[in-house]
Structure 1
């Protein structure tokens, strides 16, 4: 958010390309870890629903691979289960000792494929070392096509454009942003973006779940 990242490529005429297989494998592992952690904590789906604010049926669909939750949803589930979201996605355990000040060097970033997202969007976690954090930060590189589904989740996001230009669609309205621009929004409204111009857009995104921040 290192770990493998699969770029979007064409793989002949097979019914499922490699990125799709990779994404399905990741989603299956996430669902398994959620279920195992929940049972280890002695929680029912109803109890986890009460802790997260999500519907019991929605959590059941996640555990049974019928829904692919965004990172923000996984962050909230992980928080309720006393784990870090990177563990749910990658299986990597953080150091148990809490540190008040952490540094993530460029070579220490963790690259992940966002569950339910397009594999040509690269997420690099820059906050994973801090346990029990209130915010999650990523360096994102956006693809040139809109993701298959818009993002929609609880919380707020801050985005600062580092390189390139992108089209951002928020609640049905389109905006053009480029290097040096910054925007902040309520992420409960549908939103998605794509790179435009000669090179992929790269930007810093920080989001905070109200469940973690209150």
Structure 2
């Protein structure tokens, strides 16, 4: 299976989970559209696996459906690990990355009983930025820049991050990032608590 086929498979799987969660709550596409400010057409294509969703869109959808964000990434019938989960770089890199608006991302955290956080690896190519409006949601977030240079805006204030820099903030403040370097900017994002993404 090549990269394009893996991306399509991940998109279809994600779409099926969104549709299942929506139908389980007896919410129509139009109803979810009104609650998320995302068009019904976009949501329909997303559920069919015909388009990609940014992490900001997934957070909003999970919030409106009243489920943890991790539910979109767990396999069906997957049981929480009792003690710890090891996320292997080789396995993550073999899987297709999800595409956001201006970045790609991969889930790096596992599934634990009473889980309190989710972690993602984000990559911005040179010149890329989160497109559209700034993101805001419940909870706290920590961004640790692994490599590259990133301009990060929080509630109208701008901070330039270099490799090794870290920012911790209240997610309810509007925020977004932009790669201002000449190489890819790769960062670890940790969001907590998991269930703060539900109403």
Question: Normalising to structure 1: TM-score of the pair?
Answer: 0.64
- Which residue of the partner structure matches residue 12 of structure 1? none
How far is the alpha carbon of 1:145 from its aligned partner? 2.4
How big is the alpha-carbon RMSD for the aligned residues of Structure 1 and Structure 2? 4.0
Cα separation, 1, equivalents of 2:34 and 2:136: 18
| Aligned: 1:181 with 2:172 | no
**Paired residue total:** 180
Cα separation, 2, equivalents of 1:63 and 1:32: 16
- Which residue of the partner structure matches residue 153 of structure 1? 137
| Aligned: 1:93 with 2:80 | no
How far is the alpha carbon of 1:177 from its aligned partner? 0.8
Q: Is residue 134–residue 213 contact of structure 1 (8 Å, CA) maintained in 2?
A: no
Q: 1:99 to 1:71 in 2, by over 3 A?
A: farther
- Which residue of the partner structure matches residue 191 of structure 1? 175
Q: 1:66 to 1:84 in 2, by over 3 A?
A: closer
- Which residue of the partner structure matches residue 113 of structure 1? 98
How far is the alpha carbon of 1:3 from its aligned partner? 9.4
Indicate the SS of the match to 1:159.
strand
Write the mapping of 1:53-72 to structure 2, written as runs, cut at 5 A. Answer: 57-58=34-35, 65=42, 70-72=57-59
Q: 1:74 to 1:168 in 2, by over 3 A?
A: same
How far is the alpha carbon of 1:205 from its aligned partner? 0.7
Note the residue ranges of structure 2 that are not aligned, 5 or more in a row. Answer: 45-52
Q: Is residue 76–residue 209 contact of structure 1 (8 Å, CA) maintained in 2?
A: no
Cα separation, 1, equivalents of 2:15 and 2:115: 23
Q: 1:81 to 1:199 in 2, by over 3 A?
A: closer
Cα separation, 2, equivalents of 1:174 and 1:60: 26
How far is the alpha carbon of 1:102 from its aligned partner? 0.9
Q: Deviations over 1:74-130 (max 9, x none)?
A: 45467638972215xxxx43633543211111112255324xx32x51212111344
Note the residue ranges of structure 1 that are not aligned, 5 or more in a row. Answer: 7-18, 47-54
- Which residue of the partner structure matches residue 47 of structure 2? none
Question: Normalising to structure 2: TM-score of the pair?
Answer: 0.68
